[in-house]
């Protein structure tokens, strides 16, 4: 780890190499509201007169700027000299953890490439543009969420934050780093685990070379439990490895195997978890056993860093805070979380649903094919090996004007690329029968008795109406508002405002006192827990976010009520867990 720079930890825990350089810290910077910087020579040597602290977005306090107004274009420049041993038969890769939204990169004035998408890591080989001595890396980010053509999640389309929309994130918001690799190196890996025959199958993609020897060594708590060898042809190699010992990855027990991968001269460290995820009658089964999902909605916003946790310790702490209240997982909502966060979930046995930030983007437009599907593919590729991710839900609250062909293509892409996880086509509102494993619903009724009445028909196998008003003028039989739901994926959202505040936004009328708040939480949660046909719940939400004050913790992460109370409610046996 490199010190005296923000977020200095190694950013890619599932593919670790020793030769790397963290570029976080102070960068030269230029605000370019008119997107005229290229004409003004910013890609070359034109002077930059501002500074920013990477990896924090310009809107955040931690960036040193804190300007929350719209800015459709920003520029970054970093000058550095590479280590002497990074030369001679080696390649230098530039990694950007996330940069919202369209990113162009120049090195020493030479354009390298571009990337579209604000939520996932991307890599560029900059070897040929490097020179001896000092090098300059220049990055431009173009971001205009008001077009309605790009995923932006909960970033506010207005000047101000409002309702459940919050401060925007423009440009770089995750670690920027360099990596030195051999001419032939492991580009990516995908792991398939089989708990029934105790094997790991690894699909490896190797960059450069032909007939490259490849080997795997798996170990558990320091003991070697499996090996495999093969040869990469055409940049690909699939190895199947039998394991001497089976240690299941389970909820609350993130048992992980270490994995060393050697491709020629390239050696990387990785890990995997042995587990199996299935859907049976709308219920989630883990390792062939039903697991009730006690989830919390986690939006991953921070007061001083916006999208970016100020420290890795604070990033991890939200998982610990959630588990302290009795939750066993989370919906990672309308944002793609950092690999380090997911890695901590892997270690803790904390189950999560992976989402994309579809809000703000108009799902009825044809542009959604170009501006959503490619990045969603990249998200699945980046996060495929995290055992904590038990399902994908790329769309939240889709309306009837959704592009039907897009929704069908999205389901085919997701299920085809990853048959190992559950899939929800569009959380909470409008489902298509053939495109979802689980029908879920969002219900923010605050009265526990009325809430239980909403769910009552499901106990008799009857469907219930889910946002029927959305389909009032739509007679497509394949778009359903009457569903046999098994998962209340949003509920609660009960307001509770600190004495220090005068007002805030939340669902329904705020409780008059602590007793009423606890009455609601207990009653609403038990209506789901004790329902015979319910397999999961997801409470809104873990923390307040800006003006939205329905978190169980405040925005600065202070528990509003003792975590033990929530734990006592949530850890009761659910109906599907009864013997």
Gap between the Cα atoms of 237 and 195, Å rounded: 22
Burial class (CB in 10 A: 0-12, 13-18, 19+), 138: buried
Question: 70 in helix, strand or coil?
Answer: coil
In Å, what is the CA distance from 308 to each residue of 49, 112, 178? 25, 26, 20
Count CB neighbours of 416 within 10 A.
Answer: 8
Token code pair at residue 97:
């953890």
Three-state secondary structure string covering 425-446: CCECCCEEHHHCCCCEEEECCC
Strand runs (DSSP E) across 273-341, as ranges? 277-280, 283-286, 289-290, 293-298, 329-332
**CATH fit for domain 287-577, picks 3.40.50.12160, 3.30.1130.10, 3.20.20.150, 3.20.20.80:** 3.20.20.80
Pick the CATH number of 25-174 from 3.40.50.2000, 3.50.30.30, 2.40.30.10, 2.60.120.260: 2.60.120.260
pLDDT for position 256: 98
Kindly report the number of other CB atoms within 10 A of residue 558's CB atom: 10
Structural class in CATH, domain 185-275: mainly beta
Distance of CA 47 to the CA centre of its chain: 36
- Measured CA to CA, the distance from residue 466 to residue 88 in angstroms comes to 62
Q: What is the rounded distance in angstroms from the CA atom of residue 341 to the CA atom of residue 314?
A: 10
pLDDT for 471 equals 47
Instruction: Look at residue 473 in the predicted model and tell me its pLDDT.
Output: 44
Residue 518 zone, left/alpha/beta (φ > 0; ψ -120 to 50; rest): alpha
- φ/ψ of residue 435, rounded to 5: -110, 5
Domains in the chain: boundaries? 25-174, 185-275, 287-577
* Rounded (10°) CA dihedral 392, 394, 398, 401: -120
* Residue of 565, 528, 549, 516 lying closest to 451 (CA atoms): 528
pLDDT of the residue at 271: 98
Please name which of 457, 465, 480 lies closest in space to residue 402, comparing C-alpha atoms: 480
Dist. CA 199–CA 191, nearest whole Å: 10
CA dist 33 to 62, 69, 170, 233, 390, Å?
Answer: 21, 10, 12, 48, 41
Cα 361 from Cα 157, distance rounded (Å): 10
* Contacts of residue 490, Cβ cutoff 8 Å, sequence gap at least 6: 297, 427, 428, 442, 443, 444, 538, 540
Terminal Cα-to-Cα distance of the chain (whole angstroms)? 49
Q: Where are the strands (E) in 433-481, listed by range?
A: 440-443, 464-465, 479-480
State how far the alpha carbon of 296 is from the alpha carbons of 63, 195, 352, 541, 552, in Å: 29, 28, 9, 6, 10
Q: What is residue 505's predicted lDDT score, i.e. its pLDDT?
A: 84
Question: What pLDDT score does 472 carry?
Answer: 45
Residues of the chain falling short of pLDDT 50: 1, 469-474
């Amino acid at each position: 780890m490199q010190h005296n720079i923000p977020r200095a930890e190694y950013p890619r825990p599932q593919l670790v190499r020793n030769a790397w350089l963290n570029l976080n810290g102070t960068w030269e910077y230029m605000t370019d509201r008119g997107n005229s910087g290229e004409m003004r020579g910013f890609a070359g040597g034109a002077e930059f007169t501002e500074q920013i602290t990477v990896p924090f977005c310009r809107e955040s306090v931690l960036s040193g700027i804190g300007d929350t107004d719209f800015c459709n274009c920003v520029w970054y420049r970093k000058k550095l000299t590479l280590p002497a041993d990074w030369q001679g038969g080696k390649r230098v890769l530039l990694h950007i953890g996330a940069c919202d939204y369209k990113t162009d990169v120049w090195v020493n004035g030479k354009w390298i490439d571009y990337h579209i998408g604000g939520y996932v890591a991307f890599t560029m080989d900059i070897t040929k543009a490097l020179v001896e001595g000092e090098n300059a890396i220049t990055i431009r980010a173009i971001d205009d969420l008001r077009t309605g053509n790009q995923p932006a999640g909960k970033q506010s389309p207005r000047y101000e934050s409002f309702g459940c929309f919050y401060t925007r994130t423009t440009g770089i918001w995750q670690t920027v780093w360099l990596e030195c690799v051999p001419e032939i190196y492991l580009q990516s890996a995908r792991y398939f685990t089989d708990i029934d025959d105790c094997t790991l199958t690894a699909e490896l993609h190797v960059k450069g070379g032909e007939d490259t020897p490849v080997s795997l060594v798996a170990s558990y708590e320091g003991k070697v439990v499996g090996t495999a060898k093969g040869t990469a042809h055409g940049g690909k190699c699939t190895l199947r490895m039998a394991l001497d010992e089976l240690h299941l990855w389970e909820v609350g027990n993130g048992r992980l195997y270490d994995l060393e991968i050697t491709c020629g001269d390239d050696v990387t460290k990785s890990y995997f978890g042995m587990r199996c995820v299935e859907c049976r009658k709308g219920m989630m089964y883990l390792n062939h056993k039903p697991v009730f999902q006690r989830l919390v909605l986690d939006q991953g916003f921070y007061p001083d860093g916006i999208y970016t946790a100020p420290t890795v310790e604070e990033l991890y702490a939200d998982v610990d805070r959630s588990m302290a209240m009795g939750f066993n997982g989370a919906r990672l909502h309308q944002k793609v979380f950092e690999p380090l966060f997911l890695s901590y979930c892997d270690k803790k046995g904390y189950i999560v649903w992976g989402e994309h930030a579809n809000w703000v983007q108009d799902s009825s437009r044809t542009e959604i094919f170009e501006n959503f599907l490619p990045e969603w593919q990249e998200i699945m590729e980046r996060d495929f090996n995290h055992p904590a991710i038990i399902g994908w839900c790329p769309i939240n609250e889709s309306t009837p004007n959704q592009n039907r062909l897009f929704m069908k293509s999205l389901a085919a892409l997701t299920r085809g690329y990853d048959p190992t996880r559950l899939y929800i086509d569009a959380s909470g509102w409008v489902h298509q029968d053939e495109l979802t494993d689980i029908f879920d619903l969002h219900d923010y009724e605050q009265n526990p008795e009325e809430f239980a009445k909403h769910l009552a028909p499901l106990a008799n196998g009857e469907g219930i109406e889910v946002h029927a008003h959305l389909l009032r003028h739509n007679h497509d039989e394949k778009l359903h508002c009457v569903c046999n739901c098994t998962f209340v994926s949003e509920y609660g959202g009960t307001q509770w405002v600190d004495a220090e505040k005068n007002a805030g936004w939340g669902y329904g009328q705020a409780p008059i006192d602590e007793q009423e708040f606890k009455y609601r939480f207990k009653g609403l949660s038990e209506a789901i827990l004790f329902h015979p046909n319910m397999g999961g719940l997801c409470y809104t939400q873990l923390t307040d976010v800006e003006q939205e004050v329905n978190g169980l913790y405040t925005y600065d992460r202070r528990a509003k009520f003792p975590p033990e109370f929530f734990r006592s409610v949530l850890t009761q046996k659910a109906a599907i867990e009864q013997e």
